[in-house]
Amino acid sequence: MATTSRRALRLLSLFGSRRVWPLRDLAARLGAGERTVRRDIETLRRLGYPITTVHGPGGGYRLGTGHTLPPLLFDHDQALAAAVALQTAPSTVFGLRDDAARALVTLEQAMPAALRESMKSLRLTALPNYWEFPAPPADPEALTTVGTAVRHHHVLVTETLRADGSRPGPGDDDFTPARRIEPHHLVVWAGRWYVVAHDLQDHRWRVHRVDRLRARPTGRPFTPRPFPDGDLAHFVMSSHDRGDVPAAWPCTGHARLTLPAGTVARWAPSGSVVEHLDSEHCRLTLGAWSWAGVAGILATFDTDLTDLHPPELAQACHRLASRLAAAATPTTDQP
């Protein structure tokens, strides 16, 4: 009976997450046979849940129209997911820290004792990451504007902002005119929010940092296009011109690498900038807590480095090379 109750609870949560469920999909998600799922559905119906049968090719089962599930109907895995999400969201979205903390307390108070203990076991301690600086948390209003346009397939008019949030004027060197884009996907990577969009000016797929955009909804619908790259994650990570800017480090320098920009962009630490020079070369600007740290990160790319700047970075590379050469030289005074 306990197993049946847990499965029925999971079944209810599934009905709350999707409008129509084919029987085979329910069986696969519950890890049970189709006959068992039918019995569980009949059990829920006897308990008063209006689960209706939908006939036709796209049919299955759904919770009756106008009926809502009891509040806070979480299973164990959902409770853990909620605990993690509420504690990590403030690092990427501005202004949610106090609200997320209050929501976590509210959830814990409404949970059964066993689930409450599971959630408390996942109270996280945020530790500083000394090698990567995520972007400042995104503005909730900007995320809502872009996310709504992605969901409803509406064209956006966007303007590119500077790192400080200001908009360059027409006479500034970094000014770019407003562009119309078709936003297709919202992606989070390395603490940054990106939107993958089709640019209607040059008809290219591009990646934009959401916190570097001023987006204006148009309400104009578009027909979603097939994504040509096939691998959305690879496209975002290997796009060197996705709007990133150097993070504020004590030591920041750059070097010319004998590698394509897309390759370096995939592996460069967050808070760095990759510039395309030609098909075989790029310029990487990055920072660290020391010049030795910058030199060490550059060395991980295992390629030729030229045009190092500033001089402190070149000197740190010389010191690092000397230390590595000494470490690689066999000694003769060992027993």
Domains 2-63 and 251-327 in one fold: no
The whole-number average pLDDT for the span 170-181 is: 90
Q: Is the pLDDT higher at 110 or at 211?
A: 211
Q: Is 181 helix (H, G, I), strand (E, B) or coil?
A: strand
Kindly indicate the confidence band of residue 274, based on its pLDDT and cuts at 50, 70 and 90.
Answer: very high
Q: Which residues contact 182 (CB under 8 A, 6 or more apart)?
A: 153, 155, 156, 197, 198, 200, 222, 224, 225
Indicate whether 54 pLDDT > 90.
no
DSSP secondary structure of 91-131: GTBTT-HHHHHHHHHHHHHHS-HHHHHHHHTT-------SS
Q: So what's the pLDDT on residue 118?
A: 65
Kindly indicate the confidence band of residue 132, based on its pLDDT and cuts at 50, 70 and 90.
Answer: low
Question: Average pLDDT, whole number, for the chain?
Answer: 84
**Beta strand residue intervals within the chain, DSSP E:** 51-54, 60-63, 154-160, 179-189, 192-199, 205-209, 213-221, 251-257, 273-278, 281-288, 305-309
Indicate whether 289 pLDDT > 50.
yes
Q: Which residues contact 206 (CB under 8 A, 6 or more apart)?
A: 181, 196, 197, 198, 199, 239, 241, 242
Q: So what's the pLDDT on residue 128?
A: 61
Q: So what's the pLDDT on residue 190?
A: 79
List the chain domain ranges.
2-63, 76-120, 140-237, 251-327
Question: Any idea of the CA torsion for 192, 195, 196, 199, to the nearest 10 degrees?
Answer: -130
**Cβ neighbours of 124 (radius 10 Å):** 10
- 251-327 placed in CATH 3.30.70.250: yes
Q: So what's the pLDDT on residue 238?
A: 92
Report the CATH fold assignment for 2-63: Arc Repressor Mutant, subunit A (1.10.10)
The whole-number average pLDDT for the span 61-66 is: 74
- pTM over 0.85, yes/no: no
Indicate whether 95 pLDDT > 80.
no
The whole-number average pLDDT for the span 179-199 is: 91
The whole-number average pLDDT for the span 127-145 is: 73
Q: So what's the pLDDT on residue 1?
A: 45
Q: So what's the pLDDT on residue 293?
A: 94
Please measure the distance between the N-terminal and C-terminal CA atoms of the chain and give it in whole angstroms.
71
The whole-number average pLDDT for the span 215-229 is: 92
User: How many whole angstroms separate alpha carbon 307 and alpha carbon 104?
Assistant: 51
Q: Is 188 helix (H, G, I), strand (E, B) or coil?
A: strand
Q: So what's the pLDDT on residue 67?
A: 57
